[in-house]
Amino acid sequence: MKALLKIIRSREAKTFFQLGGDSKTYYASQGVYSLSGGIRDLSTYPPGAHHQGAYQMTRAVWMAGQRPDMGALPADFQPATQDRYAVFLMEGHPGRLDPTTREPQPTALGYVRTGEIEKAVALLRSEWASMPGTSQDQGYTMAQLKSDFDKYVKEFNN
């Protein structure tokens, strides 16, 4: 899971990742291309741009995550909280059932845990436009994603 989160941060907050490394991605703001113009206050969701932080989440996602029936997540915007919101999105919506069988539907997080990265990415395309196969994937291929995933898994295991 950590490896896929790092991939998402590196793609969604690409400029901040390239300029300052992974830790700077949490300060990214849509349309900002310098570290000095990034988010300064992580005590709450920042005002301004529609997409904010390492995962370029919207205020609507941030608000939904705080609802008791959805996740009851914290209201701050600290790096650990941004990661929790990304996992919240990977888990899918609570109570999501297959319309035919009424069985729980698999989630992207479930697919990551079983090593089915392509299936996870297919579910995450609706959350993150930088994933391979979306209209905004910027040429990032599934092969590159899998290579990055393997590299980051090794990094986190060391």
Q: Is the pLDDT of residue 71 over 80?
A: no
Residue 107 contacts residue 91 (beta carbons within 8 Å): yes
**pLDDT at position 93, please?**
64
Three-state DSSP at 40 gives: coil
Q: How large a percentage of the chain has pLDDT more than 90?
A: 78
Helices 142-157 and 117-124: angle between axes, nearest 10 degrees: 110
Task: Spell out the residues 6+ positions from residue 51 whose beta carbon is closer than 8 angstroms to its own.
Answer: 29, 30, 57, 58
CA distance 55 to 81: 11
Residue 145 contacts residue 138 (beta carbons within 8 Å): no
Average pLDDT, the chain: 92
Q: How large a percentage of the chain has pLDDT more than 70?
A: 97
CA distance 87 to 73: 11
| Strand partners for 104 | 97
pTM score = 0.91
DSSP 139: T
**pLDDT at position 100, please?**
86
pLDDT tens digits, one per residue of 108-148: 999 999 999 999 999 999 899 999 999 886 889 999 999 99
pLDDT tens digits, one per residue of 96-110: 677 788 888 889 999
What are φ and ψ of residue 57, in 5° steps? -80, 155
